[in-house]
Each structure stands twice: as C-alpha cells, then as structure tokens.
Amino acid sequence: MESIYNDIFDIHSMIVCFRVLPERVGAYLPALREISDKLAKASPSEGFVRSALRGYFDKNDDILSWVCGDKPDDGRRAELSGEYCAVLSRVISEMAECHGDRGREYLLCDCVHNFPLMMADGEFQHKSVDDMLRDYRRKYDKDFLKNEMSKLR
C-alpha cells in the first residue's frame, strides 16, 4: 500500500467539516460510500479522499473548499494497516447511515474526529477509543466498532 499520509488528515478534516455541518452529509453520500469502500478493501491510493469529495463539492460549502486543491507533499509518509482501514471504513459507513439524523451525525463526528490523527501518531489506544465512543454507544449503538476494535488487540 502506498503512503496515504495526506489522506489520513483529509479524513480527519472531512469528519470535522461534517461535525460542523451535519446537514451537508446527504450531498456527499456517494463520496462517503466510495471512501468507505476503498478503506474496506484496504486499497486506498494517495489522494483518494479529495478525489472522491471533489466530484460532489458545492461552491456554497466553503468549509469543504480544501477538496478543490492539491495538498502539497511535505515528505511525511504513513500507511494504515488493514485493521485501521476497517475502523475508518466503518466510521465513514456509519456517517452515511446516520444521514438525516443531525443529532446522531454530530455526536458520531464529535466522537471520532480524532481517530485518523491518533492512528497516524500511533496513539490509537483501546481505552481512549472506548472513552470517546461512550456517549454514542450509549445513545445509538452499544456495539459500534467493537468488532473492528477486537481485531486490533
């Protein structure tokens, strides 16, 4: 797998944007599904997040305008293991499934927005993840990410 360092940060940025504007998720559902599918197959290629989102970008979505540019290569490299790809795939899939429920969408994005950064930094710890997901699990899905996380142990 090639380095997808910039894409890891793009996933973080995407989640943060949808945390702020959960009502815009619907306009990007096909892109979310495409990103989730590539992660599920553990076959993302560099630039795949921006490429997927760019096709659905609306000029009124200033908060997502970063998808229109190319992120400069700063030389940093990172790869995601298949297990991390599975976690992010499930997160993005859940974002698509939550479409229409702004409260749920916000809470999900609020709970998971730091996951990509934690993965890139090698700080993706089970205890931290469980703590971050506590409210979402209690309110919406008690088993959310438990299967994917069990494969990381």
> What six digits make up the tokens of 68?
């229109």
Domains contained in the chain, number: 1
State the pLDDT confidence band at 62, using cuts at 50, 70 and 90: confident
Residue 133 lies in a domain: yes
For 100-150, the pLDDT digits (tens) are 999 999 999 999 999 999 998 888 999 999 999 999 999 999 999 999 999
Q: Is residue 102 part of a domain?
A: yes
| Residue 33, φ and ψ in degrees, nearest 5 | -65, -40
Tokens matching residue 94:
């859940």
- Indicate whether 21 belongs to any domain: yes
Q: How far is Cα 27 from Cα 152, in angstroms, rounded to an integer? A: 33
Confidence check: pLDDT of 1 > 60: no
Assign 59 a pLDDT band (cuts: 50, 70, 90). low
Mean pLDDT of 68-93: 78
- Range(s) of the domain holding residue 74: 5-147
Closest CA to 84 of 120, 108, 114: 120
Could you tell me the pLDDT band of residue 73, with boundaries at 50, 70 and 90?
Answer: low
Look up residue 64 and give its DSSP letter: G
CA angle 92, 139, 15 (to 5 degrees): 25
**Spatial separation of the C-alpha atoms in residues 98 and 118, rounded to whole Å:** 23
Give domain status of residue 152, yes or no: no
> What's the number of CA atoms in the CB half-sphere (13 Å) around residue 103?
3
**Is 153 contained in some domain?**
no
**What token pair was written down for 130?**
């469980």
Structural domain includes residue 124: yes
Mean of all residue pLDDT scores within the chain: 86
Separation CA 14–CA 39 (nearest Å): 15
* Two structure tokens written together for 86: 């599975």
Residue 108, in any domain of the structure: yes
Q: CB 135: neighbour CB atoms within 10 A?
A: 13
